[in-house]
Structure 1
Amino acid sequence: MCTNARANNGYRSVLRVYECLNCSGCPQRDRCVKSEKPFTNRRININRKLNALKEQARQNLCSEEGLKMRSLRPVEVESVFGDIKGNFGMRRFLLKGLEKVKIEWGLHCIAHNMRKIAVMMG
């Protein structure tokens, strides 16, 4: 059975639905069907376009350029957020309002950079 699905963002996709006619007497039912209801059958939804896009993303990530870019990612910003959260104990902003939060975040970033400079010099 093919159905046309529409996401909340207006994207339309063709979804192929495969369902078994009767799974109630199958010895593999416990491994195959997740539902506890006794008359529920196995159903598989396949979106070919989504599978093709996932494969393209996988190829991009595993390519030589993708591996190089992924190796740079942790160095760039994620370690900084982790450091500020873990070592400075910053879990929430103390001030309210976008301008005040920007200033507070800037102060945390300045403190982080000053600590890095102190480590490099010492």
Structure 2
Amino acid sequence: MNTPIEILELSFPVRIDYYEITADSGGRGRYRGGCGSRRAWTIVGHDARAAVCLERTKSPPFGVCGGEAGAPASIALKLPDGSVRKLLTKGGFNAPAGSQILLEVPGAGGYGDADERDLEATAQDLLDGYISY
């Protein structure tokens, strides 16, 4: 879902707290896999019911030709009291007002042997925030 934040906030009783690239989520390889993203929505005004259908939580996107797998997806609910509970990856759930939905979209798998990655490309990934190591 890449609906613009402004449209989501106008259409639903939510506030988007962040929507950002997840560093280190793309699989290592000669060609690094694309990074996943992290998003958080806070439910505002009243309790809500939501549904989710999320893939690649147990089996992350695989790498090919020696590339490493990307990071898996995850979804959780942070309740108003600060406790966090993992959500099932398929089905509906209740979200009390003030709770925060935490979604991590998987990163893609890498291609080729990571030892063959161009050092300048790795340095640029570090500068761009795609990797932290």
TM-score normalised by structure 1 residue count: 0.21
Per residue, is there more strand in 1 or in 2?
A: 2
Per residue, is there more helix in 1 or in 2?
A: 1
Which structure exhibits the higher relative contact order, with contacts defined as CA atoms closer than 8 Å and separated by 6 or more residues?
A: 2
TM-score normalised by structure 2 residue count: 0.20
Q: Which protein has the larger Cα radius of gyration, Structure 1 or Structure 2?
A: 1
